[in-house]
Amino acid sequence: MTTVFRSSALLAGLMAGTALLAAPAAWAQTAAPPAPAAAAPMPDAPVAEPAFSTVATVAETPDSGTMKRADKDMAAVLKKLGDLGVKPIESRSVEEARTQPTPADAVNAVLKDQGKDPAAMMAAMKVSKKDMTYPTAGGTQLVRIYTPDGAGSGPLPVIVYYHGGGWVIATVDTYEASAMALAKKANAIVASVEYRHAPENKFPAAHEDAFAAYKWALANAAQFGGDPARVAVAGESAGGNLAANVAIMARDGNVQKPTHMLLVYPVAGTDMNTPSYIQNQNAMPLSKGAMGWFVDKTLAKPDDAKSPMLNLTTMADLKGLPSATVITDGIDPLMSEGKMLAEKLKAAGVPTTYRNYEGVTHEFFGMAPVVSDAEKAQDAAAQDLREAFAGK
């Protein structure tokens, strides 16, 4: 089941424990104070989430009911992930977490079980790739340029894409399926950005690199066939947070604003006691314990948790940002904050589309070859991007 609401402007990895480390505890306790009583809800606001008491039984199960709640195709990927020997992230060292199998590996394993060749399927998409670099305060970082074949002679719009991984793990390789799908379906060049990771480079190093990459894309789009006047930002999870912050930094720094923001299950707040954190505290492949591990590795000091860059839902100024698409999933600790971010964007006057896919989990977006809701989410996101590039 998919829940969608649109603004009026648009219409016109892991079984995890629950113990948190010291830094994550600070993260959970630094949410903004309760807001004053809200006015009557907007007519097209999404339905409120269940009261905490209604989710306690599910939350206390070893996987927060992930396997029972997941759609059949999503459950098959999660089972394969377990078969590959994935351990809870919070039980791993940084190096172990970076080298253990990923959800992308599980997708490829499922495809092979179905008698399909993942490499041949990616080649059939006819999306070429080229590695370049962009300068950052830490030297240079990789940016991989994905270009759809047969796109015509004119310059193509550009999507600057930021991968997930809690600012600690994963690379552009891990999220290649998402980048290639967006290039193909949105008929756009995707610049998939690598950035400095924690704990080697603590917050806000990744955010600084993200903005540097965006400015590089604006200045160099013509070199790789892109249109510098049509540059959007996109990201998943921690990358969704980076994408939103790039739009904010562009607005505040008098830099050309992105054409659109695609924010897929973004990290948008610091409150680990939201309804979805409670309901999905042991969910797979992302749990409350895993998020705590990421926070512990990322923050340089507890006060970093007070930054508006991390508190998009409660402390950031969202006015004057470009149109947005926010995508969440039902089996995910981050679902509540993603939904709240969509509501806050809309309240700030930002044309916003929100979609929630109920029977899937964190990381589902890049799984289109085996998960039907991923295909639907990609198609919808690509349509929003095409409309934004066309000025609609």
Cα–Cα distances in Å, from 20 out to 26, 288, 296, 306?
10, 8, 9, 18
Kind of pairing between the strands at 139-148 and 189-193: antiparallel
Name the average pLDDT for the chain. 89
Query: Would you place residue 349 in the very low, low, confident or very high pLDDT band (cuts 50, 70, 90)?
Result: very high
Whether 362 is a known active-site residue: answer yes
Domain boundaries of the chain, sorted by first residue = 66-391
- Give the tens place of pLDDT for each residue, 100-110: 999 999 999 99
The catalytically annotated residue of 7, 237, 323, 336 is 237
For residue 31, the surrounding DSSP H or E stretch is none
Q: Where are the beta strands (DSSP E) in the chain?
A: 2-6, 127-136, 139-148, 156-162, 189-193, 226-236, 261-264, 324-331, 352-361
The catalytically annotated residue of 207, 362, 373, 384 is 362
Higher pLDDT, 32 or 107: 107
pLDDT of residue 25: 54
Query: Would you place residue 53 in the very low, low, confident or very high pLDDT band (cuts 50, 70, 90)?
Result: very low
Dihedral sign computed on CA atoms, order 354, 358, 363, 365: negative
DSSP state at residue 265: S
Whether 163 is a known active-site residue: answer no
pLDDT at 52 over 70: no
What proportions of the chain, in percent to the nearest 5, are helix, strand and coil? 40, 20, 40
From CA 115, how far away is CA 110, in angstroms rounded?
A: 9
pLDDT of residue 138: 79
> Which of the residue ranges 6-20, 185-199, 331-345 would you say has the lowest mean pLDDT?
6-20
| 66-391 CATH, one of 2.40.50.70, 3.20.20.70, 3.40.50.10490, 3.40.50.1820 | 3.40.50.1820
Query: Would you place residue 35 in the very low, low, confident or very high pLDDT band (cuts 50, 70, 90)?
Result: very low
Look up residue 213 and give its two tokens.
């990459």
- Give the tens place of pLDDT for each residue, 221-269: 999 999 999 999 999 999 999 999 999 999 999 999 999 999 999 999 9
Whether 197 is a known active-site residue: answer no
The catalytically annotated residue of 332, 336, 373, 384 is 332
236 and 242 in contact (C-beta within 8 Å)? no
The mean pLDDT value for 372-380 works out to: 98
* Rg of the Cα atoms in the chain: 19
